Amino acid sequence: RCGYVAIVGRPNVGKSTLLNHILGQKLAITSRKPQTTRHNMLGIKTEGAVQAVYVDTPGLHKNGETALNRYMNRTASSALKDVDVVIFVVDRTRWTEEDQLVLERVQYVEGPLIVAVNKVDRLDEKGDLLPHLEWLATQLPNAEIVPVSAQHGQNLELLEQLVAERL
Ligand code: GDP
Ligand code: MG
């Protein structure tokens, strides 16, 4: 089995960190600074009979004034077309207007959708995780929701398994 997996979300939620951890190498640049991923990056993960082509995208964000902004939004949007699985990455510590924008986009995605609720290693803010997961489930009733830590590799095996089942 093989297929394309788009990784989308607003800037800084940990999309590139997620891809790097899945691949086990530093393919995409990760940074505290938003907008370090300007092009779609492909990473191929082969495991047994399953081959997943991951597409890391620039963050979807509010259309700014600059051409770069518009270019990055177009690039990220294009990754949503013709893919087999979409991973919508959100940051459990912060929900913003831009997350809302991406949410509205992925609601219309045909095909399997997985929401990766990232940065769960930030235990200090753990108290509000469950209500957030429940709220996401009501917004995206057809999505599979997985809490993960891209940085520490928590739950990434489960995430990859869910991807493999949907390819
Ligand atoms: P992207 O813009 O969505 O590609 O986000 P990046 O992968 O570049 O990550 C943005 C920032 O979040 C970086 O400083 C990462 O180190 C940090 N980050 C990513 N994943 C995690 C995580 O699981 N836990 C924590 N605490 N920080 C993370
Ligand atoms: Mg990135």
**pLDDT, tens digit, for every residue of 117-156?**
999 998 666 567 888 889 999 999 999 999 999 999 999 9
Own/partner contacts of 20-27, CB < 8 Å, gap of 24 or more, are 21/150, 21/151, 21/153, 21/156, 22/54, 22/156, 22/159, 22/160, 23/54, 27/56
* Segment 21-63, tens digit of pLDDT: 999 977 766 666 665 666 678 899 999 999 999 998 877 777 6
Ligand 1 center to 132 CA (angstroms): 19
* Locus of tokens 């940051």: 91
Which atom of ligand 1 lies nearest, measured to the CA of 30?
8
Binding site membership of 122 for ligand 1 (Cβ less than 6 Å): yes
Binding site membership of 20 for ligand 1 (Cβ less than 6 Å): no
**Domains: count for the chain:** 1
Tell me what pLDDT residue 35 has: 59
Tell me what pLDDT residue 37 has: 61
Cα gap 96→60, rounded to integer Å: 12
CATH number for the domain spanning 43: value is 3.40.50.300
Q: Give the residue numbers spanning the domain of 93.
A: 2-166
Which atom of ligand 1 lies nearest, measured to the CA of 34?
2
Cα gap 7→4, rounded to integer Å: 10
User: What pTM does this model have?
Assistant: 0.90
Q: Which two tokens stand for residue 3?
A: 């297929």
Ligand 2 center to 17 CA (angstroms): 7
